[in-house]
């Protein structure tokens, strides 16, 4: 504290006392802030209730409408069943078939047309002459479903001359419960459509979705629409219940509510842009703030004279703390202001210098530990490679190639580090394999190959004893798995294989084919890349192979041996 000036400084208490004299308007500001918050929440709650009621009302209307249409359809089925009981004949193709169906269309009905057919698909149709492939397709789906004993409730779709309709179908059974035919109906969607249009006039969007989240209405061309992107629909798919909340939509923030229809198993989503939904809220806030600003302007004009002297040193201190927060340790601040702020500034300078010194010591220790760690791993990998003079440096090269691939795949720095370490240690399990097998210059027997195949699992078991190495075990353990399956140790395939292992596998094969071994001479790189591409989708991940090829094309990946020697397939790559 020896650097403190002996000049007498103004106490913070004095400045605060002066500011409190001007605080007569603060209760007004607080009261209006509370009022704004309460009124805002009240208006937001009213808007949420409105959307909740709207979605529930449309859902209830659809459920009731379909229940009524179902009753009309059941009435037609009962009429056909009665005709069978009275005549004992097939009423579907009989002359009186249209008359039987027509009785169900009399009076107020939701049905635009009726179709009754026997199990062979022959029967009668009552209603307007509709020539639409969509109607034929839906009737066929309804027939197949009802023929199998299931009630069918189709999605709405537009038909020229009829507007929006949907197909309902149910089986017709005789008095013994035996299915004898199917009755189908075109349900007019006119009344329901008007409710969707009413919501549009209120600047809201109403959407009908099925239990998988696909858009059913408004109808999409070519059948069922895509899955709705709303997170509210996603939650509805998991648990069909009424939900209302604000969320981020494709066009901005929206307030949305969804309600289950029940039967059919659909949901009605009503959305309104948040700006539109809360326009009255924003207007209320704006008016309140304007009046509050007028009242507080005088107080602020006077208060700024006192606040300026207090805020300047605090602002400088804040800038210095932000500099330290982003890593500029040792940053100092000018010691000015009130006595308390001056003390705080001096203490901050001392703290900042201490942090800088401590951080430098920690960085130095971390670098030393990291260098020791990497050196230990390299020494271990070199010891394994030394078991076979032909593989000396193999692990280092595989690690270098793997790092190049990871860079080309734009992996994060930490993931790239894990890939490199797993590549360095990918053959550590060979420490538990007999040297005679490792150094054998000829093809391995099946028994010897089985022993060799155990090295990934052995390596993983060795590293499992070190908790800090858990993240690199996948690359070690699974680098002999094949993209199409059939590899070892676990027979994984495709995306089941960790990306670490897929990268190490390609780098391992690349090194095996570009270095001289007892059973082969190093192959030229262009041929190796051609062979790796041939094995893409079979043994290797094609994306990883292409990343290796791109890296080589940029000159960032050069094998130790690039000799143009005979193109002999590598035993290591084939294994």
CATH code assigned at 525: 1.10.3210.10
Report the b/e string of 241-259 with b at 16+ CB within 10 A.
Answer: eebbeeeebeeeebbbbbb
Average pLDDT over residues 139-153: 91
Asked if residue 390 and residue 333 are part of one domain, the reply reads: no
CB of 509 closer than 8 Å to CB of 487: no
Average pLDDT over residues 100-127: 79
Asked if residue 36 and residue 59 are part of one domain, the reply reads: no
Average pLDDT over residues 13-30: 57
Tell me which of 89-103, 365-379, 432-446 is least confident: 365-379
Q: What is the pLDDT of residue 481?
A: 93
pLDDT at residue 322 tops 80? no
d(CA 168, CA 65): 12
Average pLDDT over residues 94-106: 68
482 assigned to some structural domain: yes
Average pLDDT over residues 378-393: 60
372 assigned to some structural domain: no
334 assigned to some structural domain: yes
CB of 565 closer than 8 Å to CB of 521: yes
| 94: number of Cβ within 10 Å | 15
pLDDT in tens, 205-229: 899 999 898 998 887 665 667 888 8
Q: What is the pLDDT of residue 58?
A: 92
pLDDT in tens, 115-131: 888 888 888 888 888 88
pLDDT in tens, 172-200: 888 888 888 899 989 988 888 888 888 88
453 assigned to some structural domain: yes
pLDDT top residue among 97 and 130: 130
255 assigned to some structural domain: yes
Asked if residue 557 and residue 487 are part of one domain, the reply reads: yes
CB of 69 closer than 8 Å to CB of 168: yes
Asked if residue 408 and residue 396 are part of one domain, the reply reads: yes
Asked if residue 196 and residue 143 are part of one domain, the reply reads: yes
Asked if residue 149 and residue 251 are part of one domain, the reply reads: yes
pLDDT classification of 377: cutoffs 50, 70, 90: low
Show which of 324, 339, 354 is a domain's final residue.
339
Closest CA to 397 of 525, 271, 508, 285: 508
Average model confidence (pLDDT) across the chain: 78
Asked if residue 264 and residue 129 are part of one domain, the reply reads: yes
Backbone dihedral region for residue 222 (phi beyond 0: left; psi -120 to 50: alpha; all else: beta): left
CATH code assigned at 156: 3.30.450.20
503 assigned to some structural domain: yes
pLDDT in tens, 264-299: 899 999 998 888 766 766 676 677 667 766 665 665
pLDDT top residue among 217 and 83: 217
Average pLDDT over residues 237-248: 89
pLDDT classification of 202: cutoffs 50, 70, 90: confident
Tell me which of 299-303, 410-414, 511-515 is least confident: 299-303
Asked if residue 431 and residue 311 are part of one domain, the reply reads: no
Show which of 242, 277, 312 is a domain's final residue.
277
State how many domains the chain has: 3
pLDDT in tens, 493-531: 999 999 999 999 999 999 988 887 766 788 888 899 999
Tell me which of 24-28, 232-236, 283-287 is least confident: 24-28
pLDDT classification of 42: cutoffs 50, 70, 90: confident
| 230: number of Cβ within 10 Å | 21
Closest CA to 134 of 113, 155, 157: 157
Q: Any alpha helices (H) in 128-212, and if so which ranges?
A: 133-147, 190-201
Q: What is the pLDDT of residue 249?
A: 72
378 assigned to some structural domain: no
Q: What letter does residue 484 receive in the DSSP assignment?
A: T
Asked if residue 287 and residue 273 are part of one domain, the reply reads: no
3-state secondary structure 443-482: CCCHHHHHHHCCHHHHHHHHHHCCHHHHHHHHHHHCCCCC
Place of tokens 């059941």: 74
Q: What is the extent of the structural domain holding 461?
A: 386-574
Q: What is the pLDDT of residue 358?
A: 72
Q: What is the pLDDT of residue 569?
A: 41
Q: What is the pLDDT of residue 29?
A: 58
d(CA 37, CA 446): 78
83 assigned to some structural domain: yes
Asked if residue 133 and residue 204 are part of one domain, the reply reads: yes
Asked if residue 404 and residue 311 are part of one domain, the reply reads: no
pLDDT at residue 11 tops 60? no
Q: Any alpha helices (H) in 386-443, and if so which ranges?
A: 394-408, 413-424, 435-438
Asked if residue 334 and residue 412 are part of one domain, the reply reads: no
Would you state the structure tokens that stand for residue 155, as one six-digit string?
Answer: 């999605």
């Amino acid at each position: 504290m020896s650097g403190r000036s002996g000049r007498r400084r103004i106490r913070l208490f004095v400045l605060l006392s002066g500011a409190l004299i001007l605080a007569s308007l603060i209760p007004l500001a607080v009261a209006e802030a509370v009022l704004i918050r309460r009124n805002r929440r009240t208006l937001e709650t009213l808007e949420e209730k409105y959307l909740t009621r709207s979605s529930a009302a449309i859902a209830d209307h659809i459920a009731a409408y379909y229940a009524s249409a179902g009753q009309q359809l059941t009435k037609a089925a009962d009429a056909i069943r009665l005709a069978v009981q009275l005549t004992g004949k097939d009423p579907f193709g009989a002359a009186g078939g249209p008359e039987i169906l027509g009785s169900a269309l009399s009076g107020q009905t939701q049905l635009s047309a009726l179709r009754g057919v026997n199990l062979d698909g022959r029967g009668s149709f009552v209603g307007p002459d509709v020539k639409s492939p969509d109607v034929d397709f839906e009737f066929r789906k309804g027939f197949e479903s009802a023929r199998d004993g299931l009630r069918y409730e189709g999605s709405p779709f537009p038909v020229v001359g009829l507007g929006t309709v949907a197909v309902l179908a149910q089986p017709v059974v005789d008095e013994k419960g035996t299915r004898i035919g199917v009755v189908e109906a075109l349900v007019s969607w006119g009344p329901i459509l008007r409710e969707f249009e009413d919501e549009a006039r209120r600047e809201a969007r109403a959407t009908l979705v099925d239990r998988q989240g696909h858009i059913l209405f408004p109808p999409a061309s070519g059948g069922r629409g895509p899955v709705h992107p709303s997170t509210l629909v996603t939650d509805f798919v998991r648990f069909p219940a009424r939900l209302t909340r604000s969320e981020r939509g494709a066009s901005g923030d929206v307030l949305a509510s969804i309600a289950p229809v029940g039967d059919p198993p659909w949901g009605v989503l009503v959305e309104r842009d948040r700006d539109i939904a809360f326009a009255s809220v924003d207007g209320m806030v704006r008016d309140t703030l304007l009046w509050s600003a007028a009242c507080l302007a005088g107080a602020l004009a006077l208060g700024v004279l006192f606040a300026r002297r207090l805020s300047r040193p605090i602002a400088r201190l804040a800038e210095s703390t932000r500099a330290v927060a982003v890593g500029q340790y040792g940053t100092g601040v000018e010691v000015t202001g009130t006595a308390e702020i001056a003390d705080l500034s001096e203490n901050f300078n001392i703290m900042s210098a201490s942090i800088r010194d401590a951080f430098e010591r920690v960085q130095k220790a971390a670098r030393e530990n990291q260098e020791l760690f990497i050196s230990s791993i390299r020494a271990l990998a070199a010891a394994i490679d030394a078991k076979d003079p032909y593989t000396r440096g193999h692990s280092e090269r595989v690690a270098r190639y793997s790092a190049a691939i990871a860079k080309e795949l734009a992996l994060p720095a930490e993931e790239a580090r894990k890939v490199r370490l797993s590549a360095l240690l990918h053959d550590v399990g060979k420490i538990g394999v007999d040297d005679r097998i490792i150094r054998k210059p000829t093809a391995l027997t099946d028994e010897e190959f089985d022993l060799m195949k155990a090295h990934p699992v052995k390596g993983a078991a060795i590293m499992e004893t070190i908790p800090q190495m858990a993240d690199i075990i996948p690359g070690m353990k699974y680098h002999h798995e094949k993209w199409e399956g059939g590899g070892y140790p676990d027979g994984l395939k495709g995306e089941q294989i960790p990306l670490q292992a897929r990268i190490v596998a390609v780098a391992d094969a690349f090194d095996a084919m570009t270095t001289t071994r007892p059973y082969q001479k190093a192959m030229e790189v262009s041929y190796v890349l051609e062979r790796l591409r041939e094995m893409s989708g079979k043994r290797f991940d094609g994306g990883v192979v292409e990343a290796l090829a791109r890296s080589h094309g940029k000159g960032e990946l050069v094998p130790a041996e690039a000799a143009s020697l005979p193109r002999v397939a590598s035993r290591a790559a084939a294994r």
